[in-house]
Amino acid sequence: MQLALTILMDGLIYASWLFVVALGLTLVFGVLKILNIAHGSLYAVGAYASASAVGLVASLGWAPGLSLLAMLVAAIGVALLVGPLLERGLLRLFYGRDEVVLLLVTYALFLILEDAVKLIWGVNPYYVSEPYQLFGNVAFGPLFYVGYDFALIGLAIICGLAVWFGLNRTVSGKIVLAVIHSREMSGSMGVNVDRVQWIAFTVGVFLAALGGAFTAPMISVQPGISVSVIIVSFAVVIIGGLGSIEGAAIGAIVVGLARAAAVHLMPEAELFSIYLVMAAVLIFRPEGLFQRAAARKI
Amino acid sequence: MSNTSLNGGRRLGRTALFAAAITGLLAGAAQAQETFRIGIVTFLSGQAAESFGVPARHGADFVIDQLNRGAAPAPYNRVGFGGLRIEPIIIDENGGATKQVQELRNLYQRENVDAVVGYIGSGDCLAVAPVAEELKKFLILFDCGTPRIFEDASYKYVFRTAAHATQDNVALARYMRSRNISAASYSLINQDYAWGQDSRGDFMATMAQLYPQAKAEADLLPAFGSGQYGTEISALGRAGSNVVYSSLWGGDLQAFILQGGPRGIFQRSQLVLSAADHVLQALGDKMPNGAIIGARGAYGLMAPDTALNRWFFAGYSQARNGTYPVQASYRMTQALLGLKAAVEKAMASNGGKKPTSEELAAAMENLEWDTPGGLIQMRLGNGHQAIQAMAIGRTRYDAARRMVTIEDIQRFPAECVNPPANMRSLDWIKAGFPGAKCD
């Protein structure tokens, strides 16, 4: 029983981290039809910006609790700076081209951002572990968990609900859904499709940066952190169905639990477990668990 | 007549001046050619850059500068390599084995380097060694850990001037045994690639010899670069073993310690790390006290107190604004000093000319030379693979000096923790370390 609960706890903590990152990936695909390989780099930019912001809070002698706010501001700053710039300055030039072209463009962007990060922050690691200890420890049977991990679960729930509510319960969200279903028809009805696209991309960048920002206190922020996250995030959105928020949530939980179960019961199969789940889902649901129904065009 | 003579004198003078100028130019050209070009390959980007690649480069910068100025202590005080000025060409190791094979060919065939010193990644070492051999060009592997290089193949032009990974794990277990560390049970966490798996195998085999009753519990193999170790830390916490062993390094090790510390697993279990000196300066007070660590040699804070080490440690620290040298800096230094020793030995027997790859290879085989980390002896792999002394110690954060110090250091002679020639490492461990000399 204790083992099952530990697997559940570890799986949910890992899933929450994964979900915040994968949510942005699936949102961008849903609205812009771009499988954004550079999403991992945007996560890394968020982590670096967060590390710099937390470092600034510490150097100014401000209360440690403010570092959480600084991390949020860093993620917003990255999104506002990078999102519109990339979407308006680069990606829109390739709309209408083959999806493979856009995939290659985002791959190129990934490589450029990797070098840009090194140019700005160098190759030395950044440590900002102070926020990691803000919430203390929580005893769970024979184990201790860090309160910060549970805060991450809360963050994931807030992000998921906010995006879901924004899309499904607001007028702006309905407009975005209309664009998702048909750009041409939305445009002809007076929707400013360009604006919807850059805003959606910016929100995607924000979610990637937010994932990086709140991961920064748990790791040493250094070159290379973008690669592993993008691979697992892709697995999540493929399992859940590209473009689906519910799918990203379920995909993250499935991957988190599968990975946790593997680590506790069969550690040598940890990485394999994720791809086993992905393969199993794709055999029965080639478009993922929650593929959004597409409007049929006559 | 006198005019003629004067004219002739002028002509002669001009000719002499012209000849002198030409001679000067030729001498200059000859002098310009009289350099020793080294290709230096180390990670300048990617995950291994901060921990290993960049410190190795800083080590190379410092030592080459000192050698070119003739400022190194004896026996390395002759300028450059036997009077030849050292000219480094530095290449990034990041990018995978295929790219490294291309870069190695470029270095030899386009840049015309006289030797290459490089490679941290075991996969890169395994890929480039046969290429250097095929091209008949001199290559020193300065850092990579896999024992397979010279245990699975034999080379004429390829050398490794640092001990392989077996000594790290044998020394760790010997240290635990000599300190009576309780190890009725132990858990492991290693990266799921060659280094992690080889280290895991060596440590488990050594534990089977030195702690035959010890029971291996959690045996975790997270992917390289995972970053998130929450689940692994739960598994280690649940196992609650006496000892937690790891060969994690760089960012992975830092993340593991940052995440494991607040969860109390290092209070519950004795932490034992095969290669951790390179994270101490960065982690500071986040590094748990009492962790048993190795540095892959007698390096950094565990280096011997010798004139060579004082020169290197102090000079490097001064050049790097107080950051002291760690494993990779030492290993790069011992490779360059070994190359200098080999070049000068070859020049002593070829009349002082720049040595060919054949002459260099002959000079390097079975060579021994002093380094800041101690004596290097090319004893294994038919004289192509080094053995060296090893040190293990325990960490303690010194709040007054605001740094992690290492105390209770124990040194192990090279022949205590390295297999004898012509015996594979794992076979040596499983046979109970025959021939080991530990006193």
Q: Which ipTM score applies to this complex?
A: 0.90
Find chain B residues with C-beta within 8 A of A228's C-beta: 223, 225-227
**pLDDT the model gives residue B10:** 52
User: Which residue range forms the structural domain that includes residue A81?
Assistant: 1-284
Average pLDDT over residues B215-233: 92
Q: Residue A88 corresponds to which tokens in the numbers above?
A: 């308006």
What is the C-alpha separation between A240 and B375, in angstroms, rounded? 58
The distance of B215 to chain A (nearest Cα, Å) reads 17
Find chain A residues with C-beta within 8 A of B228's C-beta: 14, 17, 215, 218-219
Stretch 242-261 of chain A: residues touching chain B, C-beta under 8 Å: 259-260
Stretch 215-244 of chain A: residues touching chain B, C-beta under 8 Å: 215, 218-220, 222-225, 227-229
pLDDT at residue B123 is higher than 90 = no
Candidates A125, A137, A142; nearest CB to B50: A125
Find chain B residues with C-beta within 8 A of A144's C-beta: 237, 262-264
Spatial contact of B162 and B388, defined as CB atoms under 8 Å apart: yes
Hunting for tokens 């840009």 — which residue is that? A116
- Helix (H/G/I), strand (E/B), else coil: A72: helix
Give B239-265 pLDDT, tens digit per residue.
999 999 999 998 899 999 999 999 999
Q: Which residue of A has its CA nearest to B193?
A: A268
**pLDDT the model gives residue B5:** 41
pLDDT at residue B15 is higher than 70 = no
Find chain A residues with C-beta within 8 A of B258's C-beta: 127, 129, 132, 218-220
The distance of B192 to chain A (nearest Cα, Å) reads 8
**pLDDT the model gives residue B30:** 43
Q: Which residue of B has its CA nearest to A232?
A: B226
Spatial contact of B334 and B371, defined as CB atoms under 8 Å apart: yes
Find chain B residues with C-beta within 8 A of A48's C-beta: none
Q: Point out which residues pair with B380 in neighbouring strands.
A: B385
Task: Assess B16–A contact: CB distance below 8 Å, yes or no.
Answer: no
Task: Assess B222–A contact: CB distance below 8 Å, yes or no.
Answer: yes
What is the C-alpha separation between B383 and B362, in angstroms, rounded? 10
Residue A185 domain-assigned (yes or no): yes
Amino acid at B377: Q
pLDDT level of residue A57 (50, 70, 90 thresholds): very high
Task: Tell me: do B193 and B259 sit in the same domain.
Answer: yes
What is the C-alpha separation between B436 and B35, in angstroms, rounded? 42
Task: Tell me: do B294 and B329 sit in the same domain.
Answer: no
Residue A262 domain-assigned (yes or no): yes
Hunting for tokens 């739960």 — which residue is that? B234
Residue A237 domain-assigned (yes or no): yes
Q: Which residue of A has its CA nearest to B225?
A: A228
Amino acid at B1: M
Give B328-352 pLDDT, tens digit per residue.
999 999 999 999 999 999 999 999 9
Average pLDDT over residues B304-311: 97
Hunting for tokens 């991450």 — which residue is that? A152
Find chain B residues with C-beta within 8 A of A10's C-beta: 230-231, 234
Residue partners of A139: CB distance under 8 A and separation at least 6: none
- A-interface mutation test, from B234, B252, B279, B404, most A Cβ less than 10 A away: B234
Provide the mean pLDDT of chain B. 91
The torsion defined by the Cα of A121, A125, A128 and A132, in degrees rounded to 10, comes to 130
Residue B245 domain-assigned (yes or no): yes
Number of cross-chain residue pairs from A and B with Cβ atoms under 8 Å apart: 123
Pairing between β-strand B368-371 and β-strand B374-380 as defined by DSSP bridges: antiparallel
Residue B349 domain-assigned (yes or no): yes
pLDDT at residue B6 is higher than 70 = no
Task: Tell me: do B72 and B150 sit in the same domain.
Answer: yes
What is the C-alpha separation between B290 and B377, in angstroms, rounded? 32
pLDDT at residue B14 is higher than 80 = no
Cα–Cα–Cα angle for B303, B309, B313, nearest 5°?
Answer: 90
Amino acid at A62: W
Residue B20 domain-assigned (yes or no): no
Give A121-137 pLDDT, tens digit per residue.
987 888 888 899 899 88
Residue A294 is classified by DSSP as P
Q: Which residue of B has its CA nearest to A217?
A: B258
CB-CB under 8 Å, B262 with A144: yes
Query: Please, what is the end-to-end C-alpha distance for chain B in angstroms?
Result: 89
Task: Tell me: do B189 and B336 sit in the same domain.
Answer: no
Q: Give the residue, A33 or B404, on which the prediction is more confident.
A: B404
Q: How many alpha carbons lie under 13 Å from residue A142 in its C-beta half-sphere? A: 13
Residue B261 domain-assigned (yes or no): yes
Query: Please, what is the end-to-end C-alpha distance for chain A in angstroms?
Result: 55
Hunting for tokens 């049970």 — which residue is that? B185
What is the C-alpha separation between A11 and A79, in angstroms, rounded? 28
pLDDT at residue B3 is higher than 50 = no
Task: Tell me: do B222 and B293 sit in the same domain.
Answer: yes
Q: How many residues does chain A have?
A: 298
Cα–Cα–Cα angle for A96, A97, A100, nearest 5°?
Answer: 135
CB-CB under 8 Å, B259 with A224: no
Nearest alpha-carbon partner for B421 in B150, B30, B20, B35: B150
Asked which of A8-22, A280-294, B99-113, B329-343 is least confident by mean pLDDT, the reply is A280-294
pLDDT at residue B31 is higher than 50 = no
- B-interface mutation test, from A10, A14, A54, A123, most B Cβ less than 10 A away: A123
Find chain B residues with C-beta within 8 A of A215's C-beta: 227-228
CB-CB under 8 Å, B251 with A219: yes
pLDDT at residue B8 is higher than 60 = no
**pLDDT the model gives residue B4:** 38
Task: Tell me: do B200 and B289 sit in the same domain.
Answer: yes
Provide the mean pLDDT of chain A. 91
Find chain A residues with C-beta within 8 A of B226's C-beta: 228
What is the percentage of chain B residues whose pLDDT exceeds 70? 92
Residue A97 domain-assigned (yes or no): yes
Q: Which residue of A has its CA nearest to B197?
A: A268
The distance of B71 to chain A (nearest Cα, Å) reads 30
What is the C-alpha separation between B126 and B23, in angstroms, rounded? 47
- What CATH code is carried by the domain that includes residue B258? 3.40.50.2300
**pLDDT the model gives residue B333:** 98
Q: Give the residue, B12 or B421, on which the prediction is more confident.
A: B421
pLDDT at residue B28 is higher than 50 = no
How many C-beta atoms lie closer than 10 Å to residue B151's C-beta?
20
Find chain B residues with C-beta within 8 A of A9's C-beta: 234
Task: Tell me: do B123 and B234 sit in the same domain.
Answer: no
- B-interface mutation test, from A16, A119, A132, A144, most B Cβ less than 10 A away: A144
What is the C-alpha separation between B10 and A65, in angstroms, rounded? 88
Give A265-284 pLDDT, tens digit per residue.
999 888 889 999 999 999 99
Task: Assess B192–A contact: CB distance below 8 Å, yes or no.
Answer: yes
What is the C-alpha separation between A49 and A43, in angstroms, rounded? 10
Residue B436 domain-assigned (yes or no): no
Residue A56 domain-assigned (yes or no): yes
The torsion defined by the Cα of B208, B211, B213 and B218, in degrees rounded to 10, comes to -70
- Torsions phi, psi of B391, nearest 5? -135, 145
Average pLDDT over residues A39-52: 96
Task: Tell me: do B131 and B69 sit in the same domain.
Answer: yes
Give B406-425 pLDDT, tens digit per residue.
999 999 999 999 999 989 99
Within A147-240, strands assigned E span: none
User: Which residue range forms the structural domain that includes residue B173?
Assistant: 166-300+389-431
Find chain B residues with C-beta within 8 A of A47's C-beta: none
What is the C-alpha separation between B399 and B408, in angstroms, rounded? 18
Residue A23 domain-assigned (yes or no): yes
- Number of domains within chain B: 2
pLDDT at residue A63 is higher than 70 = yes
Nearest alpha-carbon partner for A71 in A50, A43, A91: A50
Amino acid at B244: V
Task: Assess B216–A contact: CB distance below 8 Å, yes or no.
Answer: no
pLDDT at residue B383 is higher than 80 = yes
Find chain B residues with C-beta within 8 A of A125's C-beta: 50, 251, 254, 282
- Helix (H/G/I), strand (E/B), else coil: B211: coil
Q: Give the residue, B4 or B77, on which the prediction is more confident.
A: B77
Nearest alpha-carbon partner for A155 in A128, A131, A180, A126: A131
What is the C-alpha separation between A234 and A223, in angstroms, rounded? 20
- Number of domains within chain A: 1
Residue A153 domain-assigned (yes or no): yes
Task: Tell me: do B285 and B411 sit in the same domain.
Answer: yes
Residue B23 domain-assigned (yes or no): no
Q: CA B124 from chain center: how many Å? A: 14
Give B162-188 pLDDT, tens digit per residue.
999 899 999 999 999 999 999 999 999
Give B35-50 pLDDT, tens digit per residue.
999 999 999 887 788 8
What is the percentage of chain A residues whose pLDDT exceeds 70? 98
**pLDDT the model gives residue A297:** 54
Task: Tell me: do B186 and B139 sit in the same domain.
Answer: no
Task: Tell me: do B41 and B127 sit in the same domain.
Answer: yes
**pLDDT the model gives residue B29:** 45
Q: Which residue of A has its CA nearest to B283?
A: A127
**pLDDT the model gives residue A292:** 63
Task: Tell me: do B46 and B138 sit in the same domain.
Answer: yes
Residue B27 domain-assigned (yes or no): no
Q: Give the residue, A182 or B394, on which the prediction is more confident.
A: B394
**pLDDT the model gives residue B239:** 94
What is the C-alpha separation between A252 and A50, in angstroms, rounded? 24
Spatial contact of B132 and B139, defined as CB atoms under 8 Å apart: yes
- Helix (H/G/I), strand (E/B), else coil: B137: coil
Give A202-247 pLDDT, tens digit per residue.
999 999 999 999 999 999 898 888 888 898 999 999 999 988 899 9
- What CATH code is carried by the domain that includes residue A125? 1.10.3470
Q: Residue B150 corresponds to which tokens in the numbers above?
A: 């010279």
Q: Is A95 exposed, middle or buried (0-12, 13-18, 19+ CB in 10 A)?
A: middle
Q: Give the residue, A267 or B396, on which the prediction is more confident.
A: B396
pLDDT level of residue A295 (50, 70, 90 thresholds): low
What is the C-alpha separation between A71 and A118, in angstroms, rounded? 20
Nearest alpha-carbon partner for B147 in B93, B201, B99: B201
Spatial contact of A88 and A198, defined as CB atoms under 8 Å apart: yes
pLDDT at residue B144 is higher than 80 = yes
Residue A292 domain-assigned (yes or no): no
Candidates B231, B259, B283; nearest CB to A259: B231
Find chain A residues with C-beta within 8 A of B283's C-beta: 127
